[in-house]
Amino acid sequence: MTDPIIAVLAGGTSPEREVSLGSGKAVALAMAYSHPTQFFIVDSDALPDGLNPSRHIVCSTLHGIFGEDGGIQQLMEAAGVGHAGCDARSSDLCFDKWRARQTVSAMGVQVAPGRHFNATNKPTAAALAAELGEQVVLKPNRQGSSIGLQIVSSKVGLEIALGGIRQGEWIAERRIVGHELTVGLLRGRVMGIVEIAPKSGIFDYASKYTKGLTEYFTPAKLSDELTASVQAAAETVFAACGCRDYARVDFMLSNEGELYLLEINTLPGMKETSLLPMSATCVGLDFVGLCREMVAPALERFTLAPALKR
């Protein structure tokens, strides 16, 4: 049997298109060390031409809407195209931050107090401040992790931020001040914990993608007991949300030592300096090795199952 081709998808139609293109190029180059590889640029909310269920296994690096939200995963599964990473159902759940919060909270993982609302029926700043305090995080419910993120620290700031919300579903959360942590998982098993230390104090889009604005500690300087707690929580989140193959789970560790889930990222950034590769270096996996391990379960499914059941 001819070896399957790894089809790396990049681009897409979300605001994170340029980030995705960078991830895709890096992954395609790394994947080519181990597997026949083909690079596809996605320009519409559809499967790219040329995908063959009997020849290709997809490794998607699409971000945001029609990348992480289960949209393209659903199309691949309907077409019988095997793919690495979470399936459509799990992708949709994890992309919906409010449903994911409810799912992991039911399994005992702590989340910050919050409220879900629609732009057409917004709470008042006074009501939110009374419920959550004046330090509040506002973020779209279904968007990439840094898109639309706002952190406010006063009732006036909250009024201004709410006034700018015109459409969509949103989440307001009590701001947890402390240390931001992220941990990558392969096949449901944790890798290393990375601490993220933005110089601005906020890990927003600029801090994430502008060189020099954030420091990273790999691995995070935590006690053995706290390391075990973070790792256990990450594995619980992965399993509770039905994830498969790989994902990245983000937490906030408060200054009081309490751990709170931020979110689950099913298609994290994949440049060599991105967070998932940083996590992998803690367990001795370089970028090429990480890419190889990310597609290994999909290769096993390709070998074991008929095309329409992948």
Strand pairing category for 56-60 and 82-83: parallel
Say which of 68, 87, 263, 293 is annotated catalytic: 263
Question: Active-site residue among 11, 16, 148, 192?
Answer: 16
Active site residue 265: yes
Catalytic entry in 69, 245, 250, 293: 250
The one catalytic residue in 146, 204, 269, 293 is 269
Q: What distance lies between CA 40 and its chain's CA centroid? A: 21
Contact predicate 147/205, CB 8 Å: yes
Long-range contact pairs involving 294-297 (C-beta distance under 8 Å, separation at least 24)? 294/59, 294/84, 294/85, 294/186, 294/245, 294/246, 295/6, 295/31, 295/35, 295/57, 295/59, 295/84, 297/84, 297/187, 297/244, 297/245
Q: Decide if 195 is catalytic.
A: no
Burial bucket for residue 243 (CB in 10 Å: 0-12, 13-18, 19+): buried
Whether residue 216 lies in the annotated active site:
no
CB atoms within 10 A of CB 280: 24
Handedness of CA 31, 62, 186, 298 (dihedral sign): negative
Catalytic member of 34, 55, 195, 209: 209
Helices of type H across 52-152:
71-79, 88-95, 97-105, 125-132
Active site residue: 17, 142, 175, 248, which one? 248
Choose among 37, 26, 47: nearest CA to 4.
37
**Chain length of the chain:** 310
Q: Which position among 91, 207, 265, 279 bears the catalytic label? A: 265
Is position 154 annotated as part of the catalytic site?
A: no
- Residue 258 catalytic? no
Whether residue 30 contacts residue 39, with contact meaning beta carbons closer than 8 Å, is answered with: no
Please confirm, yes or no, whether 145 is among the known catalytic residues: yes
Contacts of 247 (CB under 8 A, 6+ apart): 85, 86, 94, 184, 185, 238, 264, 265, 266, 268
Q: Is 34 known to be catalytic?
A: no
Catalytic residue among 20, 60, 141, 145: 145
Active site residue 89: no
Nearest-angstrom CA–CA distance, 164 and 231 = 37
Catalytic residue annotation: 16, 145, 209, 248, 250, 263, 265, 269
